[in-house]
Structure 1
Amino acid sequence: MTGATVNAGGRLLVRATRVGSDTRLARMARLVEDAQNGKARIQRLADRISGVFVPVVIALAVGTLGYWLGTGGGAGAAFTAAVAVLIIACPCALGLATPTALMVGTGRGAQLGILIKGPEVLESTRRVDTVVLDKTGTVTEGAMTLVGVHLADGEDETEVLRLAGALEHASEHPIARAVARGAAERVGELPAVEDFAGLEGLGVQGVVDGHAVLVGRPALLAEWSQHLPADLEEALTAAQAAGRTAVAVGWDGRARAVLTVADTVKPTSAEAIRRLRALGLRPVLLTGDNESVARSVAAEVGIDEVIAGVLPADKVDVVKRLQSEGRSVAMVGDGVNDAAALAQADLGLAMGTGTDAAIEASDLTLVRGDLRVAADAIRLSRRTLATIRGNLFWAFAYNVAALPLAALGLLNPMIAGAAMAFSSVFVVGNSLRLRGFR
């Protein structure tokens, strides 16, 4: 059930897993609110400058008053010039420069499904030059399908699917879900599993109907002396060459089959890669799949650099290595095993369709599962930062340029007040241009 669902008839029993402040909508609202209330590094610099600028202006106003009185200009002219200095230098526009741009930028981002966690994220988007993309669920749909069953001599397909499907049904991995779903569709109800264990980066093991079953990489079966016969090795190689993922199945001391699953590339991924390149970013495909599968997907979307065969725990090491090479790294992912890498990256972008752990560890959350939004997020963040910089520049330049005129008595306090107000209007208007971001 989703929001605004109407029960037209009958009885509806609903269990709320999260309510109030724990709901995803409430968390998204908090992210936007925190971003709007924070301060970017450039704003903190402006605050420090203002801490010096204000005393200097007060001293200048006092000096102007003394100068005009000392030169016989008269008390009226002296006070007029001093007041004009104070009015024209009033740093209202400085105070509005950052919050208005942040308010409009983050609000527009929320409309587009982009949640910016804080203003410091804006600085990171300007520096990044490399974007690491997790393959499954980010570049691809992440919803794999069982497309082939290759049996060793004398094996029964129904029995292989029944035992392998039962074991994989206990796992949350996308490949495991594909095998379990395909097995259930072909053989019906799956038996129960005992002593289930997930082996990170290798596969799963457990007891099904009294059989010690292994499903995963050939290396997992090899650890139990269940080596693939020549025909299954050939099927495994052929599947990998075709860009598919193959998992081996074995039990009771023998390798029994190779199952192949395929994951389709999202139709928008190729365009997203082009947009990221246009932003000056170098895309890198990161995956735990074998080199052949990774290269096939990379070629389809236009990525040249591929890092394959990476265990979940090693993803953060890949990000560290790229950073040690002098790159500023953005990471896009959606799974629990991406959380550490997202936190380590200079800029972490999590797909909102992914896990809570990934979302919490990221700097930007992309509500939709469309990779093009990642390019939009970086572009919007850079545009917002550029708007803040423009606001601060014109606010300072305006004040500094008008101060000599006020000190020389060439600026009436009434005109100075109107000009000061106009500078604030200019800053707000410049920030509102972000509403037109597409």
Structure 2
Amino acid sequence: MGHGGHGDLSMAAMVADMRRRFLVAAVLSVPILLWSAIGRDVLGFDVPAPFGLRDDVFQLILSLPVIFWASWIFFGGAFRALRARTLDMMVLVAVAIGTGWTYSLVVTLTGGGEVFYEAATVLAAFVLLGHWFEMRARGGANDAIRSLLELAPEKALVLRDGEPVEVPTAQVVVGDLVLVRPGGRIPVDAVVVAGESDIDESMVTGESLPVHKAPGSEVIGATINTTGILRVRAVKVGADTALAQIVSLVQQAQNSRAPGQRLADRAAFWLVLVALVGGLATGLVWLLATDRPTQEAVLFAITVVVITCPDALGLATPTAIMVGTGLGAGRGVLFKNATALETAAGVTTVVMDKTGTLTKGEPEVTGFETLSLPEEDLVPLVAAVERESEHPLAAAIARHADVRGVPRRPAEAFSNVPGQGAVATVDGYRVAVGNSRLMRAEGVALGEAARRLDALAADGRTAVLVAVDGRIAGLVGLADTPRPSAAAAVTALHDAGVEVVMLTGDNAGTAQRIGRELGIDTVIAEVLPGDKAAEIARLQGGGRRVAMVGDGVNDAPALAQADLGIAIGAGTDVAIETADVVLMRSDPLDVPTALLVGRATVRKMRQNLAWAVGYNTVALPIAAGVFAPLVGLTLRPEIAALTMSGSSFLVAVNALLLKRQKLPRTPTGPHAD
């Protein structure tokens, strides 16, 4: 199912392999450099080669592992590029290293003249260093598909002759009756036949509150059954399940994104062409138009190829990227690859999923409304009943009571009514807490409460009704509340000139309320999980560069569709695998941080590229020997390689200045710094 071009090598193995190649080239280049003409003439090193070997033969022996192992990836890459009828960095590096080494080999075998093995090996070491840096920065290989499929449970309990039998999920067929115990994952898309329970669908739909299921309700594979025992009949299995559909959407989105890459390859193609033609022309001019020896003509030609080798160009981006990714990681913002950093810089619109991203993803009490009892009498009664219940809404009310220090009262004859609420006796009162179905069952007339219920619903709040001794006594409003830093995050994005859109499957009332509270530009509500990616595509169609922030499996296709996918904090593995950027904390303020790090990094990349191009412009004529007849100014390939590395060093230092970038800070309570 993988799409990697390196067989079965994992990214970590590829990075380690590149590091080994660099170290071999670097370590062997040192003695080669010492016993070369540079060592003798420039560094004054005049120790004879060991074992009585000629200096050039000793250099040849030491260069073999560098050329035939460490640098072999360049020759392989060049061969593949030429077979695909294109030119890239690999071709340039292979030509520079290959020509220098082959020329030196011929000179060594014929026994006359100057060799420059050190030019080939030092060049190989510097280019491998660049590649190693780059691969480290590109690190996050994508296992999205695997973790998506791992969400579905491996085994299912299928009822055969009324007895549960454990079978692999893959063997469940349409029509099978499946038993799902509390806490278990539902193996396939199915319909409830018997039992009632609340299902946590957040990992697939992003819906924060568990959804009540009764006979006839549809359930989605990979969602979690919370409290009751369910018997469900399989409706969709294998490739037809909602989860499998999401997998294929993610795959599609991942495979359809490479326009920027093609542009970069085209630029490299022309650069390589200029270098090769320039090198060849330089060599021919020196051979035909002057009386210099062949060796000098070859040297000039190779020097041109080496110095045009866009290595400061090649390092300009990875060094900025390594610093940028490090800067982000210090704030818990993980960029999966270089492209993610570049894309982050160009984002104009941020689309945020509501549940779990802008909001906490769990209900909180927003207020009590009293009807026939004063609040100080009502709250302890409600709290006493809810402290006995396991329902998420009950837990929210109990938490609220604990925070406010509401005294604990014993609840007797407690009874949980699945899908409706709970009833108990507190201080001699019969207290019923639940929805309107429970009130009907208790014979309680809603009266004025019905209007208040509608008003709360219109404002996007969930209401729990309270009856005491058969009379309606009040309502508790609950809602998913914004995270503490959500408003600051929206403000920081606006300050950066970015438009903020909220996208949610929740009802319009809830979405509009949160949107108003946070100052969000556009709210798109009641979007089905499968349609999120289409909404993103619609925004992209309007010319926007879109970043999507989400945390659930249902966000995975949208994360993959967006120009930049950002998975937030406690998100599912799938969201994290599909995204280009992962925010380790569940803090929305890290979204503007990610975009600012991207912008700062790209700014450094551009400065570095400008330096690298400027350096090439100055160095090329010197390398080609234009000034040799005039002022005797020439460059040897290894000096070219060293100045190239000096250029790369400057580029790296400039990248390190990135660390001084100011980022938005999260207020963390009274002692926030």
TM-score by length of 1: 0.68
From 310, 335, 353, give the equivalent of 1:91. 310
1:318-357, aligned counterparts within 5 Å?
A: 318-325=532-539, 326=541, 327-334=544-551, 338-339=555-556, 341-357=558-574
Answer with 1 or 2: which has the greater Rg.
2
Q: Select the structure with the greater relative contact order (CA < 8 A; seq sep ≥ 6).
A: 1
Q: 1:114 maps to which residue?
A: 333
Shift in CA distance, 338/83, structure 1 to aligned 2, threshold 3 Å = closer
Q: Which amino acid aligns with 2:283?
A: L
Q: 1:436 maps to which residue?
A: 660
Number of aligned residues? 385
1:71-220, aligned counterparts within 5 Å?
A: 71-75=289-293, 78=297, 81-142=300-361, 144-145=364-365, 147-148=367-368, 169-171=390-392, 175=393, 177-182=395-400, 204=419
Q: 1:366 maps to which residue?
A: 583
- Tell me if the contact between 1:134 and 1:333 (Cα under 8 Å) persists in the aligned partners: yes
Q: 1:391 maps to which residue?
A: 608
Q: Determine the C-alpha separation between the residues in 1 that align with 2:569 and 2:452.
A: 36
From 270, 287, 290, give the equivalent of 1:69. 287
SS in 1 for 2:396: helix
- Tell me if the contact between 1:285 and 1:306 (Cα under 8 Å) persists in the aligned partners: yes
Q: 1:305 maps to which residue?
A: 522
Q: 1:272 maps to which residue?
A: 489
Q: Determine the C-alpha separation between the residues in 1 that align with 2:651 and 2:508.
A: 52
Q: Determine the C-alpha separation between the residues in 2 that align with 1:42 and 1:322.
A: 19
Q: 2:110 maps to which residue?
A: none
Shift in CA distance, 284/80, structure 1 to aligned 2, threshold 3 Å = closer
Q: Determine the C-alpha separation between the residues in 1 that align with 2:365 and 2:494.
A: 31
Q: 2:463 maps to which residue?
A: 247
Q: Determine the C-alpha separation between the residues in 2 that align with 1:271 and 1:158.
A: 35
Q: Which amino acid aligns with 1:320?
A: A
SS in 2 for 1:145: strand
Q: 2:648 maps to which residue?
A: 424
From 593, 599, 602, give the equivalent of 1:382. 599
Q: Determine the C-alpha separation between the residues in 1 that align with 2:560 and 2:330.
A: 25
Report the alpha carbon displacement of residue 114 of structure 1 after superposing the two structures with TM.
Answer: 0.6
SS in 1 for 2:279: helix
Q: Could you list the per-position Cα deviations for residues 59-82 of structure 1 after superposition, in whole angstroms to 9, with x for gaps in the alignment? A: 433432322232234328645643
Q: Determine the C-alpha separation between the residues in 1 that align with 2:452 and 2:283.
A: 91
SS in 2 for 1:298: helix
Report the alpha carbon displacement of residue 83 of structure 1 after superposing the two structures with TM.
Answer: 4.7
Report the alpha carbon displacement of residue 377 of structure 1 after superposing the two structures with TM.
Answer: 0.4
Q: Determine the C-alpha separation between the residues in 2 that align with 1:298 and 1:375.
A: 18
Shift in CA distance, 288/145, structure 1 to aligned 2, threshold 3 Å = farther
Q: Determine the C-alpha separation between the residues in 1 that align with 2:410 and 2:460.
A: 26
Q: Which amino acid aligns with 1:323?
A: A
Q: What is the alpha-carbon root mean square deviation over aligned residues? A: 4.7
Q: Which amino acid aligns with 1:303?
A: I
Shift in CA distance, 338/82, structure 1 to aligned 2, threshold 3 Å = closer
Q: Which amino acid aligns with 1:301?
A: L
Report the alpha carbon displacement of residue 111 of structure 1 after superposing the two structures with TM.
Answer: 0.5
Shift in CA distance, 357/38, structure 1 to aligned 2, threshold 3 Å = closer
Q: Which amino acid aligns with 2:517?
A: E
TM-score by length of 2: 0.47
SS in 2 for 1:413: coil
Report the alpha carbon displacement of residue 118 of structure 1 after superposing the two structures with TM.
Answer: 2.3
Q: Determine the C-alpha separation between the residues in 2 that align with 1:34 and 1:397.
A: 27
Q: Determine the C-alpha separation between the residues in 2 that align with 1:89 and 1:170.
A: 68
Report the alpha carbon displacement of residue 34 of structure 1 after superposing the two structures with TM.
Answer: 6.7
Shift in CA distance, 272/149, structure 1 to aligned 2, threshold 3 Å = same
Q: Determine the C-alpha separation between the residues in 2 that align with 1:41 and 1:255.
A: 66
1:1-40, aligned counterparts within 5 Å?
A: 35-37=137-139
Report the alpha carbon displacement of residue 260 of structure 1 after superposing the two structures with TM.
Answer: 0.9
Report the alpha carbon displacement of residue 322 of structure 1 after superposing the two structures with TM.
Answer: 4.5
Report the alpha carbon displacement of residue 120 of structure 1 after superposing the two structures with TM.
Answer: 2.8
Shift in CA distance, 319/177, structure 1 to aligned 2, threshold 3 Å = farther
SS in 2 for 1:284: strand
- Tell me if the contact between 2:421 and 2:433 (Cα under 8 Å) persists in the aligned partners: yes
Q: Determine the C-alpha separation between the residues in 2 that align with 1:376 and 1:87.
A: 39
Report the alpha carbon displacement of residue 269 of structure 1 after superposing the two structures with TM.
Answer: 2.9
Q: Which amino acid aligns with 1:148?
A: F
Q: Could you list the per-position Cα deviations for residues 319-360 of structure 1 after superposition, in whole angstroms to 9, with x for gaps in the alignment? A: 522522424432323456655544444333233145545434
Q: Determine the C-alpha separation between the residues in 2 that align with 1:223 and 1:401.
A: 86
SS in 1 for 2:648: helix
Q: Determine the C-alpha separation between the residues in 2 that align with 1:385 and 1:116.
A: 13
Q: Structure 1 unaligned runs (5+)?
A: 1-31, 197-203
Q: Determine the C-alpha separation between the residues in 2 that align with 1:57 and 1:304.
A: 50
- Tell me if the contact between 2:355 and 2:504 (Cα under 8 Å) persists in the aligned partners: yes
Q: 1:11 maps to which residue?
A: none
- Tell me if the contact between 1:148 and 1:261 (Cα under 8 Å) persists in the aligned partners: no
Shift in CA distance, 149/429, structure 1 to aligned 2, threshold 3 Å = same
Q: 2:231 maps to which residue?
A: none
Q: 1:8 maps to which residue?
A: none
Q: Determine the C-alpha separation between the residues in 1 that align with 2:439 and 2:532.
A: 27
Shift in CA distance, 349/38, structure 1 to aligned 2, threshold 3 Å = closer
Q: Determine the C-alpha separation between the residues in 1 that align with 2:641 and 2:578.
A: 47
Report the alpha carbon displacement of residue 307 of structure 1 after superposing the two structures with TM.
Answer: 3.1
- Tell me if the contact between 1:248 and 1:255 (Cα under 8 Å) persists in the aligned partners: no
Q: 1:283 maps to which residue?
A: 500
Q: Could you list the per-position Cα deviations for residues 220-246 of structure 1 after superposition, in whole angstroms to 9, with x for gaps in the alignment? A: 88999x9983412232245467x6723
Q: Which amino acid aligns with 2:324?
A: G
Q: 2:531 maps to which residue?
A: 317
Q: 2:275 maps to which residue?
A: 57
Q: Could you list the per-position Cα deviations for residues 367-419 of structure 1 after superposition, in whole angstroms to 9, with x for gaps in the alignment? A: 23332221010121233234335434543453355334433532511564554
SS in 1 for 2:586: coil
- Tell me if the contact between 1:84 and 1:407 (Cα under 8 Å) persists in the aligned partners: yes
Q: Determine the C-alpha separation between the residues in 1 that align with 2:328 and 2:518.
A: 26
Q: Structure 2 unaligned runs (5+)?
A: 1-133, 142-257, 425-431, 628-632, 663-673
Report the alpha carbon displacement of residue 109 of structure 1 after superposing the two structures with TM.
Answer: 0.7
Q: 2:200 maps to which residue?
A: none
Q: Determine the C-alpha separation between the residues in 2 that align with 1:392 and 1:192.
A: 72
| Percentage identity across paired residues of the two chains | 38
Report the alpha carbon displacement of residue 104 of structure 1 after superposing the two structures with TM.
Answer: 1.3
Q: Which amino acid aligns with 1:423?
A: S
- Tell me if the contact between 2:622 and 2:634 (Cα under 8 Å) persists in the aligned partners: no
Report the alpha carbon displacement of residue 100 of structure 1 after superposing the two structures with TM.
Answer: 1.7
Q: Determine the C-alpha separation between the residues in 2 that align with 1:223 and 1:345.
A: 47
Q: Which amino acid aligns with 2:534?
A: K
